Structure 1
Amino acid sequence: MSQQQRMGGQPMIILGEDSQRMKDRDAQSHNISAARAVAEAVRSTLGPKGMDKMLVSSMGDVTVTNDGVTILEEMDIDNPTASMIVEVAETQEDEAGDGTTTAVSIAGELLKNAEDLLEQDIHPTAIIKGFHLASEQARAEIDNVARQVDPEDTELIKKVAETSMTGKGAELNKDVLAQLVVDAVQAVTVEADDGETIVDLEYVNIETQTGRSAGESELLEGAVIDKDPAHADMPTQFDDADVLLINEPIEVEETDADASVQLDSPDQLQQFLDQEEEQLREKVEKIADSGADVVFCQKGIDDMAQHYLAQEGIIA
């Protein structure tokens, strides 16, 4: 006879010490309350008069922001329904890049209205069907209120960029930053084969450097590699440089087998060291002969090789 049969067909449920078991109306109410609490947490950050939140992580790191998705990602949430609200913000961020707080606030309001309907004994399935019909109607209405933006209309796009910065810390430098945003977006706007204009933001990357104001930001067409020269005497600026990429070490090649060398005099030791230096000098001469001004080496660069590269006027 199985355990379930002995208990009269009732399955046995074992819960941990901290667990709570809820069902029916209590579970619905609890889940809606948890999701609404998350929505309320970011609601005060919405709009041009929205307030910033100061977040302190468990490690003591402080973040000041009024970006909805940033706040929600920093929050420690373990309720599954509340986590779905965070997913709403993340999806909005991925798809549109803005409007996360609005999306979460609307979701919270919809849940609040759903709770009112549940208290009127309207079945959840009917409420879900109503939401589905409303979403279809909303999609249809969007086309009526949406405005086509010409990619060449720089002034309008700049206003859109400035609007999204309003109420955020970037607002102080919005004139400069909005122009950078417009220039960056137009730089990656291409026309597809079917004639449709698409913006490929995969080609835009934002690098943050501390120490100077946001107003000193600039748009660079190319790559930014945040590395210091290997040697202090190397040059730091080149125009129209030739770049060499190496995936081999600029070091003395070591033998695969362990070898021991027996020396009879200090002169022999000096000869041994001179030969190593000569190997490095040859490598650097080959690099210099290639005409390279800048060298990126995936492996190590020997200290002596760094010195020779600096002598040749090469940055590595």
Structure 2
Amino acid sequence: MSMRQPVFILSEDTKRTRGRDAQENNINAAKAVAAAVRTTLGPKGMDKMLVDTLGDVIITNDGVTILKEMDIEHPAAKMVVEVAKTQEDEVGDGTTTAVVIAGELLKQAQELLEQDVHPTIIASGLRQASHKCQEILENEIAVDVEVDDKEKLMKVGETAMTGKGAESARDTLREIVVNAITAVADETEDGYQVNVENVKVQKKVGGRAKDTQLVDGMIIDKEKVHPEMPKSVENAKIALISAPIEHKETEVDAEIQITNPDQLQQFLDEEEAMLKKLVNKIKESGANVVFCQKGIDDMAQHYLAKEGILAVRRARKSDLKKLARATGGNVVSNIDEISEEDLGQAGHIKEKRVSNENMLFIEDCKNPRSVSLLVRGGTEHVVDEVERALEDALKVVAVAVEDGKIVAGGGAPEVELAHRLREYAASVGGREQLAIEAFANALEIVPRTLAENAGLDPIDALVDLRNKHEAGEKAAGLNVFDGEVIDMWEAGVVEPLRVKTQAVDSASETAVMVLRIDDVISGGSGSGGDQPDMPGGPGGGMPGGMGGMGGMM
């Protein structure tokens, strides 16, 4: 009997993991990522200190920031990081919630795999559960909110900032956030559209978080180009210019031969006259303030100062666009064609000193479609964390204004969804029923984690929550400060609907994707595809010696 030769289709240094091993490895990696951020969830969540290879330090409990800074190698773990990034892009908050739910879904699925339930059946059940969750959230849990209901919107902003670096000043900040978003909201046929980019966030170290202020206009981190220019301008007429205020270079390489001093003087006079003409054009338009994206020649600065015009050079393109929205002006690319209609208007412009640096405040704009926040804080780390909290709050308030729907927080929607899914599972039958029940169990990780992070007994808290929801109290959530189960609407713990729908959706999609992988083929050494010897999967390789986070399971 002849021996059969084995057929090799992959190169020798290719690593391959198949079947249950591949699933276990991927699930453990994803669970380790969820475990890394789980302790940051909720108002009582802890912070992480991230140290990169250069020694720069970030202290935060913002899920997406932590995961972006971690140097994650494992491909399945990277898929879970994508959940956080998507949540950040779509909603701006709830990143930790989304990752924790994804990790718990995979943990529950792992238990079903051990009972020999096929991955495709689990995936089918998880998808059904996810669809049902979206239905229940939109039709039965969410409540409408109007753009002029500032009280509710402030609650949304406050909830987003709770537990973050800005919490000490949240009463001041929540009002600033709502006023900023309602100022830049554009009304459309279908409701409102909000581009958070139209709120400029400017950081300056110094003062306290409470000193953060909203400017109904713009703050430009620049100073006037010439000392003789006015420090403040009342009733400002603003020219926004994207072209340089300098003498034009010839388009072709030209050589000018000067044979005597008179010709040189004539050439210089000509240049000077050209600059004077440009400045006269600006003056004739009625402008008394100029923001220029490019350079301003020294001689042009002198003429502008002589005319009493305040000028700024090298302004960012994005700042010019925001100034145009804030002041109602147009960005002009050709100075020869500037007219009075192109000018923006502001009540006054003032150069103020903030933390030993001069900044320009463009205020009292008639109808500011773009506004600025000046963020303050005692140290650089504090300012950075306040900025992160403010950006989250701005995004969630914007989402609440756009969608017009909000839900209670404090774990209330998750417990209600779990309760309703268990009822739904009984009607489905078959093996999918097990996966739907697993989804319900996974959602309860949110209130359980909130309780754990607050030092409360998670089992007692969960039992209390379940009892209230079974009695029909849809908004019953956990008050982490005293351990009581209370009505979250009355407590003012409110989140936009999209935070929950997006978290459930992306967590379930990622869990299904990881479950359906039964073969990991990684080309050559050095790829992070197959690392069974590492604790929890993606442990090593994190900056600042934070390795082995998989061991935090």
TM-score for the superposition, normalised by structure 2: 0.51
- Aligned counterpart for 2:202 among listed residues 204, 208, 213: 208
Q: By how many angstroms is 1:240 displaced?
A: 2.9
- Aligned counterpart for 1:39 among listed residues 14, 24, 34: 34
Q: Is the 8 A contact 1:184 1:204 kept in 2?
A: no
Q: Give the aligned partner of residue 292 of structure 2.
A: 297
CA deviation string 1:193-234 (max 9, x = no partner): 2xx433423453342322233322233344444333222322
Q: Give the aligned partner of residue 138 of structure 1.
A: 133
Amino acid at match of 1:292: A
Q: Give the aligned partner of residue 223 of structure 2.
A: 228
Q: Distance in 2 between matches of 1:58 and 1:239?
A: 49
Q: Give the aligned partner of residue 66 of structure 2.
A: 71
Q: Distance in 1 between matches of 2:215 and 2:120?
A: 53
Q: Distance in 2 between matches of 1:186 and 1:175?
A: 17
Q: Distance in 2 between matches of 1:180 and 1:98?
A: 18
Q: By how many angstroms is 1:59 displaced?
A: 2.8
CA deviation string 1:1-53 (max 9, x = no partner): xxxxxx9573421154xx64311111111101111111111101001110111
1:57 aligns with 2:52: yes
- Aligned counterpart for 1:185 among listed residues 176, 181, 184: 181
Q: Give the aligned partner of residue 4 of structure 1.
A: none
Q: Is the 8 A contact 2:184 2:199 kept in 1?
A: no
Q: Distance in 2 between matches of 1:197 and 1:247?
A: 34
Q: Give the aligned partner of residue 104 of structure 2.
A: 109
- Aligned counterpart for 1:174 among listed residues 166, 170, 173: 170
Higher relative contact order (CA 8 A, sep 6+): 2
- Aligned counterpart for 2:192 among listed residues 172, 184, 198: 198
CA deviation string 1:94-132 (max 9, x = no partner): 222211101110111111111111111111011111111
- Aligned counterpart for 1:13 among listed residues 5, 10, 13: 10
Amino acid at match of 2:257: S
Q: Is the 8 A contact 2:258 2:264 kept in 1?
A: no
1:309 aligns with 2:292: no
**5+ residue gaps, structure 1:** 1-6
Q: Give the aligned partner of residue 153 of structure 2.
A: 157
| Same amino acid, percent of matched pairs | 53
SS of 1:208's equivalent?
Answer: strand
Q: By how many angstroms is 1:261 displaced?
A: 0.7
Gap change, CA 1:276 and 1:166, over 3 Å in 2: same
Gap change, CA 1:250 and 1:147, over 3 Å in 2: closer
Q: Is the 8 A contact 1:188 1:203 kept in 2?
A: no
1:148 aligns with 2:144: yes
Q: Give the aligned partner of residue 3 of structure 1.
A: none
Q: Is the 8 A contact 1:189 1:197 kept in 2?
A: no
Q: By how many angstroms is 1:272 displaced?
A: 4.6
Structural mapping, 1:277-288, within 5 Å: 277-288=272-283
SS of 2:296's equivalent?
Answer: coil
Q: Distance in 1 between matches of 2:240 and 2:91?
A: 37
Q: Distance in 1 between matches of 2:180 and 2:233?
A: 24
Q: Distance in 2 between matches of 1:240 and 1:14?
A: 74
Q: Is the 8 A contact 2:241 2:291 kept in 1?
A: yes
Gap change, CA 1:47 and 1:14, over 3 Å in 2: same
Q: Give the aligned partner of residue 95 of structure 2.
A: 100
Gap change, CA 1:248 and 1:162, over 3 Å in 2: closer
Q: By how many angstroms is 1:254 displaced?
A: 4.3
Q: Distance in 1 between matches of 2:282 and 2:147?
A: 45
Which structure has the larger Rg? 1
Runs of 4+ in structure 1 displaced over 6 angstroms?
A: none
SS of 2:192's equivalent?
Answer: strand
Amino acid at match of 1:215: K
SS of 1:50's equivalent?
Answer: coil
SS of 1:219's equivalent?
Answer: strand
Q: Is the 8 A contact 1:185 1:199 kept in 2?
A: no
CA deviation string 1:158-190 (max 9, x = no partner): 122111111100101101110011112222445
Which stretch shifts more, 78-87 or 97-106? 78-87
Q: Distance in 1 between matches of 2:285 and 2:146?
A: 47
Q: Distance in 2 between matches of 1:205 and 1:59?
A: 31
Q: By how many angstroms is 1:260 displaced?
A: 2.0
SS of 2:235's equivalent?
Answer: coil
Amino acid at match of 1:131: L
Q: Distance in 1 between matches of 2:293 and 2:143?
A: 49
Amino acid at match of 2:9: M
**5+ residue gaps, structure 2:** 312-553
Structural mapping, 1:252-267, within 5 Å: 252-255=247-250, 256=252, 257-263=254-260
- Aligned counterpart for 2:76 among listed residues 75, 81, 87: 81
Q: By how many angstroms is 1:248 displaced?
A: 4.0
Amino acid at match of 1:293: N
Q: Give the aligned partner of residue 537 of structure 2.
A: none
Q: Is the 8 A contact 1:293 1:313 kept in 2?
A: yes
Amino acid at match of 2:27: I
Gap change, CA 1:78 and 1:185, over 3 Å in 2: same
Q: Is the 8 A contact 1:114 1:127 kept in 2?
A: yes
Q: Distance in 1 between matches of 2:225 and 2:293?
A: 13
SS of 2:163's equivalent?
Answer: coil
